[in-house]
Structure 1
Amino acid sequence: MRFLARSVGRQHQATIDRVNAAVDAATRIVEGKVRGCVGPVEVAVASSSGMWELVAEAHRPMFGRQDPHAWQHDRNAFGTTTITKSGVLVVINAQACKGKATEVDKTLLHELTHAVQFNRRGARDLILRSLANNYGIDPMTEREARAANRRVDADEREAARMERHHRLLAQSIA
């Protein structure tokens, strides 16, 4: 696992420190509860705009040059997870999480759950297909899009349920 801070100032040091302290324990909790492996994952802390720049950078080797502004639909998101050419990228939004250790913990658990989901059989191919559709590279049929959206909805519900383990995470790093 690789950890990095990107486009964040000193005012976000507490968030960076919390993510750094909690990421290994959060990974163990998620892998134990979800029964899977996060696999090769990079965890980053970034500003609101830096978060979407990291997503665009992660997609560039797979889909060509991408515009990070296309992803800035939710500047208040606590985090996001996406696939990369070699694994998964989890990004925590330092601005949204500033001063909120509980939200950092919940976000780590939520986003690392997506990392496990993205390593399930067939998930990576579906995500690649969905992203290619979203970028207008290779359109999906309506049936394929509905199936992909159902998968995303189910994954979101599972990730949201993992957030309830934030107290366990806080206790494990105290």
Structure 2
Amino acid sequence: MHFIANRVGRQHQATIDRVHAALGPAAEIIEDEIRGRIGCLQLAVANTSDMWRMVVDAHRPIFGRQDARLWSREQGDAFGTATITSSGVLVVVNAQACKGRQVEIDKTLLHELTHAAQFNRPGARDLLMRSLANNYGITPMTEAEAAAANRQVDADEREAERMERHHRQLAKSIA
């Protein structure tokens, strides 16, 4: 796992420190609970606008030049996000949204690391790549393919939301 703080100021040091401290224990919880591997992970703490630029930068080697506004308009001020990269998974925690909210930091890590493990399931990465190519207007999906992809996204999101309940266990393992 590779950890970076992307151009965030001192006012977000507590968030950076918490993410750094919670990363290992959160990954263990996720891998134990869903019996999957997180794999090659790059984890970043960034401000809101840089978070979406990082997603676009992660997609650029896979899909070509992209527009960050596509993401920021759809996602707003999310606590975090996870996406595929050419070599694994990128998880970004939004330092601005999480500032001073330790429980949200813990829940966000659990949620996004769940997505990282989901992306490593058989066939998941290929489905996500096809879905992103469709969203970027590169390679369209049929309505049936898009509907199936959306059902999988919904199921994955429900599982990630359920994993947030382990935030107390995570907090105890760090304290």
Aligned pair 1:83/2:104, yes or no? no
Structure 1 CA distance for aligned equivalents of residues 13 and 105 of structure 2: 13
What does residue 27 of structure 1 align with?
Answer: 27
Residue 14 of structure 2: aligned partner:
14
Cα deviation code 1:62-117 (max 9, x no counterpart): 01111112110233200000000000000000000000010000000000000000
Gaps of 5+ in 2: none
* Structure 2 residue aligned with 1:43: 43
The residue that corresponds to 1:64 in the other structure is: 64
**Which stretch of structure 1 is more off in the superposition, 113-122 or 3-12?**
3-12
Taking the aligned partners of 1:143 and 1:75, their CA distance within structure 2 comes to 28
Alignment partners' CA distance in 1, 2:10 and 2:53: 20
Q: 2:128 corresponds to which residue?
A: 127
- For 1:4 and 1:122, the matched residues in 2 are separated by 28
Instruction: Give 3-state SS (helix, strand or coil) of 2:115's partner.
Output: helix
Identity %: 69
Q: CA RMSD in A?
A: 0.6
1:140 maps onto 2:130 in alignment: no
CA distance, structure 2, for counterparts of residue 145 and residue 7 of structure 1: 36
TM-score, normalised relative to structure 1: 0.99
Matched AA of 2:172: Q
Give the count of matched residue pairs. 174
CA distance in 2, matches of 1:36, 1:15: 27
Change (3 A) 1:7 1:75: farther
1:126 Cα deviation from its structure 2 partner: 0.2
1:86-125 alignment runs, 5 A limit:
86-125=87-126
Structure 1 unaligned segments of length 5 or more: list them: none
Q: Please name the residue that 2:53 is paired with.
A: 53
Distance (whole Å) between structure 1 residues aligned to residue 11 and residue 67 of structure 2: 27
CA displacement, residues 108-135 of structure 1 (integer Å, 9 cap, x when unaligned):
0000000000000000000000000000
Greater displacement, 116-125 / 73-82: 73-82
1:3-50 Cα shifts (integer Å, max 9, x gaps): 001121110110000000000000000000011000000000000001
SS state of the match for residue 26, structure 1?
helix
Give the SS at the match of 1:102: helix
Q: TM-score, normalised by structure 2?
A: 0.98
CA contact (8 A) 1:52 1:72 kept: yes
